[in-house]
């Protein structure tokens, strides 16, 4: 168990601040005159490098699951007393190990609409090949692609939770039929969002666009593989703003090169940040974005302001947003 004076907090590290905006999104001076807040924009994957950087910090503010904190890492950070994740779910943190080591783990609020907005941005981009037509227009090629119509087509939503429901609501504005599936979804629940609950294979076979909104766990890992992509077919598009490993990425790369599916809009990958030689970077009929579904100005302001509140509450010994369940 780690003990020690909570006040003042001597060092706070904000990690994976890709856009270098964390220090402008909240009033970090509130941490107090004894606190020193440092933001790091680069991403470290090597555990030794992470330990070298973070060894002296009392508090670490992590951005979602960009940097995992397993037991093997937590045990090497003896000064760490408070670990904060943006959002209230982080499956890359070993919460049991943190509790054993006396490290408090807390979370923050995020704006709940940002990922749904990006989902529809990707749907529109692949349906009309917006990125491809942009490149071709700049190259002097005029009207090379015939887009599909969203109106009258079918959207398949895998996971009709908080995000899936937002996506379903917008689909009706486009006059689309909505099919939905998840292991525990009932027809009655689906009907509340004007969707029809169907079996997984039927959803893939009937939908022109399939969008994924299930959490990553043992049952969802590899949920979309070669067989499922064949069911989606050459006229179908896959959208993934959930987690990369839900899709077998080797199978997806093959399906895109072979024309087995019509295209894909992908925001999440098996390795992040995506390496320069990742095969998805070289696939046709794809729109790729850098895991930015949850990223927005309002979302970052909310998350970092909550992080400051959590630090101040922890210093004062007051209740904070504690993570107890990685799937909460």
Catalytic residue among 64, 272, 285, 309: 272
Q: Would you call 291 a catalytic residue per the annotation?
A: yes
Q: Would you call 243 a catalytic residue per the annotation?
A: yes
Which residue from 145, 137, 284, 115 is spatially nearest to 213, judged by alpha carbons? 115
Catalytic residue among 66, 243, 285, 309: 243
Question: And the tokens for 27?
Answer: 């009033």
Catalytic residue among 291, 298, 309, 321: 291
Contact 156, 200 (CB under 8 A): no
Q: Would you call 117 a catalytic residue per the annotation?
A: no
DSSP assigned state of 147: P
- In angstroms, the CA 243 to CA 163 distance is 13
Which residue from 273, 278, 218 is spatially nearest to 249, judged by alpha carbons? 278
What b/e readout covers 214-251, taking b as 16+ CB neighbours within 10 angstroms? bebeeebeebbeeebbbbbeeebbbbbbbbbbbbbbeb
Helices (H), the chain: 47-54, 71-74, 95-101, 114-127, 130-138, 162-173, 187-191, 200-206, 226-232, 249-258, 297-315
Question: And the tokens for 83?
Answer: 């670990």
Tell me the CA distances in angstroms from 324 to 94, 136, 248, one per residue in order.
10, 50, 30
Active site residues: 243, 272, 291
């Amino acid at each position: 168990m780690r003990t020690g004076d909570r006040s003042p907090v001597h060092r706070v590290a904000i990690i994976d601040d890709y856009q270098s905006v964390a220090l402008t999104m909240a009033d970090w001076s509130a941490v107090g005159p004894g606190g020193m807040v440092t933001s790091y924009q680069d991403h470290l994957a090597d555990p030794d490098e992470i330990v070298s950087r973070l060894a002296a910090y009392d508090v670490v503010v992590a951005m979602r699951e960009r940097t995992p904190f397993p037991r093997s890492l937590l045990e090497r950070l003896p000064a760490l007393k408070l670990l904060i994740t943006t959002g209230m779910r982080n499956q890359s943190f070993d919460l049991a190990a943190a509790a054993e080591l006396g490290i408090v783990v807390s979370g923050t609020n995020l704006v709940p609409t940002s990922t749904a907005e990006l989902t529809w941005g990707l749907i529109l981009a692949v349906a009309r090949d917006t990125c491809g037509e942009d490149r071709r227009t700049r190259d002097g090629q005029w009207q090379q692609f015939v887009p599909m119509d969203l109106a009258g087509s079918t959207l398949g939503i895998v996971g009709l939770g908080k995000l899936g429901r937002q996506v379903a609501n917008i689909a009706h504005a486009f006059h689309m039929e909505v099919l939905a599936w998840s292991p525990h979804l009932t027809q009655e629940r689906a009907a509340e969002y004007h969707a029809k609950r169907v079996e997984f294979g039927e959803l893939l076979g009937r939908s022109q666009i399939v969008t994924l909104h299930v959490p990553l766990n043992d049952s969802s890992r590899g949920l979309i593989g070669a067989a499922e992509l064949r069911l989606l077919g050459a006229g179908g598009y896959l959208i993934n703003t959930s987690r990369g490993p839900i899709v077998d990425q080797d199978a997806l790369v093959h399906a895109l090169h072979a024309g087995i599916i019509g295209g894909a809009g992908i925001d999440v990958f098996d390795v992040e940040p995506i390496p320069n030689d990742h095969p998805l970077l070289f696939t046709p009929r794809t729109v790729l974005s850098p895991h930015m579904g949850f990223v927005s100005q309002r979302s970052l302001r909310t998350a970092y302001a909550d992080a400051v509140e959590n630090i101040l509450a922890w210093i004062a010994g007051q209740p904070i947003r504690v993570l107890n369940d990685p799937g909460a």
